[in-house]
Structure 1
């Protein structure tokens, strides 16, 4: 038991009051400062991210709208040849495969060049507009020395998506056209569509508008992004159209960002983790052009200002904590000094020196405690002398009690003589009654232990029952129902005999037909339930209520003191409460004509557990 109690001691129980006070002061200062710093840092960080995200969302939205206007104009240009009869007539003339490698007439070339030149007028962002006839000839505004005259467009990588569009306009991502002779390794973004015969829907050729990368640079030139951020323009397939800045991303990381499926086909702001680095990605998607403008900013660069705030807050908090620690040390010393003096005086009193007193320095609780200590020590010193005198008198009383022990032995010897005489005269009933009375007396006054085995308590009760059965004869029946495994448990002494006596005298004793008393014991988890019940006249609800109130009352009333049975029941209940606590005791229940039941609940003491 001692080891268990030691384990349950709180780890701070050995700390001095000064240490505990200092710890409390430090916690009261450190916790609010830490919470304030954390909340301020978090709120400022979130505010910076929100402002940056809102600003970037507006920028990428504006960029995407400008791109939509640009591609809308390119789409309109690509549609113009399909409404021009002259252009359709020339394309119709050179649409047959049999005319492959045959140059058009000079007149047709001049008409087409003038038409295409008009389309590209005042549009420097257009590298070239090509009209591919069915024969493979290429009509273009580009100088003849810089472009191939004949091109098999069906072999181009981009042709398949134009064919699948079936006459609708298509935006082709960055690619390197094979028909430019002076390409110089440049890539272009293009808008293209098939040209069909209006009446028969037969293919006449293909129009393709190649755009320089400047078209994107001009749109984003007036937009200011974060210093370490970057911008991507891709389509829903992840194909690259334009890139500005890298934001610290390697080419491999850029490819991963471009291909990632985490970016939805809708406007969105989210955090992305790319190879262990966190980025704030702002996406704006256009249904018209199927383009996504992605602005990505390293979160680390966004939080640069917040880190400065965090360091400043940490420095201020550390200075405040050191200052508070010094003040807490000073005040904890001032508060604990009189208590330390009081503790030293109490240690001397504990060692037996009762001539101690402490100086009262204040009128607060510590001063009141000091005054109470002085009065207590004076009273203890006085009581010690009185106890010494009382102790001498108790020694004399013990001698008298020793002499009085002769009386029980005299009674036992007398009962034994009566028993021998009854046996000699063959009066078995008198012999049984005297033997039972002897056993009952030995159990009642022969031992001073508060706890006995359940077996011993039942044997003593059986002796009492035997005496009563000699008196009542067949009218009294007593049934004991207890499992063998419960007989070794300890119970308070003299529990059953008062309850059986109460059942006989108040339940079935006056009834002509007699009755039965049941004594039962049952284990329920860690508790033992002991029951004494009878089938006598029982009790009304008012009588039960009065008995329960009597059992719960702390003091004995005059009526209880005058009557033996009420006193015995209350004595049992108070013994149980004192031994086991308020939750245990004697419970009574019954009804008129149905008998009365007394139930006792006590905790089970396993072998090895004893009262100190």
Structure 2
């Protein structure tokens, strides 16, 4: 994991892009060929299902036909009239009753009419070696030769035997001597103890009608084989008509899927087989693999060509994209290096409006703002030096001021003028807290005491002009705040809000906790401020440079608060003309503590 993170940190953007492009191409290739393999598997499964249905249909048609032949044989064997005719001349001897043989042939022809696909119906006499058939009358097998199927049929007793190409089932001069027919053969008993063999012969061409046209995939073939594997009928692909398919598992015996791959004459085929429950024959559907997957092969070739074209196109697009990205980044890096070396900054030309253009624009603005801030900080430092100089000038000899005020206080007491003494004492305390031995942060308790002194002095000047209402949370008295934080606000309320009103006004001072904030408010019931003038007042407070006498104190206070507490401070003025004005200062308590600690730590190090 660490090595991967280190590689990401050290690899260039170009290297990352190359790896991303190649990775995506490889992923596309893997996904595409996986989908093709899946599609090939699905196609094979669907073709297997379709082939299974075809094989079952063919096997079912053959079974129906054979069942009809078996039922017909049952009817013939059970026919009493035919049995009586066979009793008269069981060996088909010419010296016997010729009329009975003629009647027997007529009766057999009646049965043959029931199935138009039957070539002939014959009855074989093992005793004489003669055959009575509807197609050829009576003929005799060569002397001394018995049919090779006779023992098999007799072993089946009264059950039908379905044979393929039974030699001598028909005369040798027709139907290749029986090779081009298939037969339903069974033992037939007569009442006199004689045994005959009933043969229902069908031309193998009837299987072609039962199977139908071999359509679908080019090169498909169907093979019907008997129990010994001999071909009963074959249609379709000539390459498979003589193929031995006996070693291929049947559909119900296959352990993996429906289709089985086999090699026939050097070619690969798919084979599915179904055994007939009636005859024991096997129906095999054979399809060439190349034809089954011809579309997949074409698709695979097209995908390879598409992948090659996509690779070339991706690399070209990558090169174009990299050039589009690298050039703005290089210009941005050049601008950064100039700023780092302290060289004169030349704004980067903006030639695009996308994310990189936005980044270049913001970099230009950032550098311009940084240079402006440097100028502002330099101006503030000069201004601070001027304030410090004036402050030092005001503290030429504070002890002289305190001693003088102390002397005036005692003279006033000795003269019996207690009001003057109290006024001088408040003035002395006011100056002591204002100076605070050079401290910039004092507890809220001293700030409140400072306001008390100031307000008593103002109330002495403005007899019965205003009343003061205090709302101070005692739990906040130990919190340290900026010195002279509330006095300019109170002074502004008295001078600009209360002095212009006839009668007694109300001055409310609140110090309380509001959630995680210290909230200080000063409200009066003075003349108030009109909306337009309030907007002008706000503009003067926030603008740089000098201001009028009416806003100098508030502007100076706002700037000091913002420098110390930043965005954790909220300064608000709410006023209604003729009703009064309210000034609210909100400072986050955590920021109060951090700012105080940082300031004191800095001055201790100094």
> How high is the TM-score relative to the length of structure 2?
0.48
Larger RCO: 1 or 2 (CA < 8 Å, sep 6+): 1
Structure ID, larger Rg: 2
> How high is the TM-score relative to the length of structure 1?
0.48
